[in-house]
Amino acid sequence: MNHKLLIAALAVGSVLTVMSTGIASAAPPTFQFGITIGDPPPPPPPHGPPPHGPSVDDCSSIKEIFSDLADQGYFKFRNYDDEDDEYFSVDARRGSKLYHLVVDSCDGEILSRKRIYQSY
């Protein structure tokens, strides 16, 4: 009977050992250290849409707008006039025709397109 108790005690001990090594083998916590000289960096910007419509950062640059116009087939841009903060006008060629375009300064949408007839 002593042999049965000894075997049972060994079985219970091995089960407890296996269970405790599973817990003990968890990854240790990570630590990071850093040195900041001067003022600390500002906090990150809040998430979500801006409170009052699109901001200037949401607008395309003039270079991107002209690139988009070129992708639409316009080229030889001339007589650029930044009439307002909301839009600008420019003459551009598309194929063999010349157009006067009024373009949104923010998203590059063509607001108006009028053909310019040339006299030879």
Q: What is the pLDDT of residues 90-112, one digit of tens each?
A: 999 999 999 999 999 989 999 99
For residue range 19-59, list pLDDT tens digits in order.
665 555 567 777 666 676 777 677 777 776 555 555 556 88
How far, in Å, CA of 91 to CA of 116, rounded?
9
For residue range 51-96, list pLDDT tens digits in order.
555 555 688 898 999 999 999 999 999 999 987 788 999 999 999 9
**CB of 117 within 8 A of CB of 104?**
no
89: its two tokens? 């006008």
User: Which pLDDT value is given to residue 25?
Assistant: 59
